[in-house]
Amino acid sequence: MYRYIVKRILLVIPTLVGAAALVFLLMRLIPGDICVVRLGSGGGTFDARAVATCHAQLGLDSPVFLQFVDFVWGFFRGDFGTSMWSGKPVAHEIAARFPISLEICIMAVVISNIIAIPLGTISALKQDRPIDFVIRTISIAGLATPSFWLGILLILAILDISQAVFGTPWMPPIDYVPIWQDPLRNLSMAIWPALTVGYRTSAVTMRMTRSAMLEVLREDYIRTARAKGLIEKVIVNRHALKNALLPVVTLIGIEAAFLMGGLVVTEQVFNLNGIGRLFVQSVQNQDYTMTQALVMLVVAAFVVTNTVVDLIYAWLDPRIRYT
């Protein structure tokens, strides 16, 4: 087991280097020039000398290989460089927006699991009964409903309900306050986008839980447990659900890592200044350093999540052994 953990940790390094090479190459293949965008943003005129000066200031005149080495070395040192658009350190720009995206991601995953795993289990246990059809309808509706549309409906519902109850329309706050400073204001801002994303994510997890439970409940050892006289609660919780969660855990890990950079539309709907919006702005401004840092942040989230998921497998299924 310890050998496997060491191997997985060592594999993180070539994975990150390969991802860094890919994003670095793709950013250089995108048409356009950050210096042209910067110099033309004020509406003035400029010549080739001004563009060359800008390239020198940003380090774009050095060989591409040296730029790549500086980028990779800086990433492993935790130094993402300076934004080519704002001139501020990339780490500071990300740090200002990272907490809100991380909080919404965690809340959405928790909400998703609270909804999906119990309902998916009940749906499998009550297969082809009325409650099964209701739960499947809920999951299909979640898959078919875009997050941005659901977010808009949620905002309209909040406005209508607050107007009817208090006589004044109420909107969630858009300025981020850490939860340890003002828990009520923080949750009143983060809970709505978390509910929107969590419901959409729960639909996928719910169907996976149901499918995995149905497969496990048909296994021989489940029939043996019932023949031995074990109560249904013990059979479901200790024998069936634990094994059925293997594919579900993988899906949860992938969804959680994806949400770190996949909240772009939701953040736009709720007017939140998170990582997703910063992604869009950096791509529009052709800010190489910022985009590269954000992509590598998401890649690191995927790598760490997949490693943790693989380690959880051994706890969920004792038959799994890493050699």
On the question of pLDDT at 213 being above 80, the answer is yes
- What's the domain range around 238? 96-316
Q: Longest C-alpha distance within the chain, in Å?
A: 85
Residue with token string 């923080």: 186
Residues 6+ apart with CB under 8 A from 143: 200, 203, 204, 207
What is the reported pLDDT for 46? 66
Q: What is the pLDDT of residue 40?
A: 67
**Residue 283, domain member (yes or no):** yes
In a domain, 19, yes or no: no
**186-195 pLDDT per residue, tens:** 888 888 888 9
**Is residue 285 pLDDT above 90, yes or no?**
no
pLDDT in tens, 2-33: 676 677 777 778 888 888 888 888 877 777 77
Q: Distance from first CA to last CA of the chain, Å, rounded?
A: 7
Q: Mean pLDDT, to the nearest integer, of 294-299?
A: 84
121 within 8 A of 236, measured Cβ to Cβ: yes
The confidence score (pLDDT) of residue 111 equals 92
Question: Using CA atoms, how far apart are residues 283 and 300, in angstroms rounded to an integer?
Answer: 19
- 263: closest CA among 212, 188, 205, 197? 197
Give a yes or no: residue 21 inside a domain: no
Residue 76 inside a domain? The answer is no
Residue 182 DSSP symbol: -
The CATH number covering residue 166 comes to: 1.10.3720.10
Sorted by sequence, the CB contacts under 8 Å of residue 262 that are 6+ apart come out as: 276
Among 12-26, 123-137, 302-316, top mean pLDDT goes to: 123-137
Query: Would you state the pLDDT for residue 134?
Result: 93
Q: Examine residue 90 and state whether it is found in any structural domain, yes or no.
A: no
Q: What length is written for the chain?
A: 323
**8 Å CB contact between 208 and 253:** no
Residue 89: beta bridge partners?
A: 82
Residue 43: is its pLDDT beyond 60? no
User: What is the average pLDDT across 194-222?
Assistant: 89
How many distinct structural domains can be found in the chain? 1
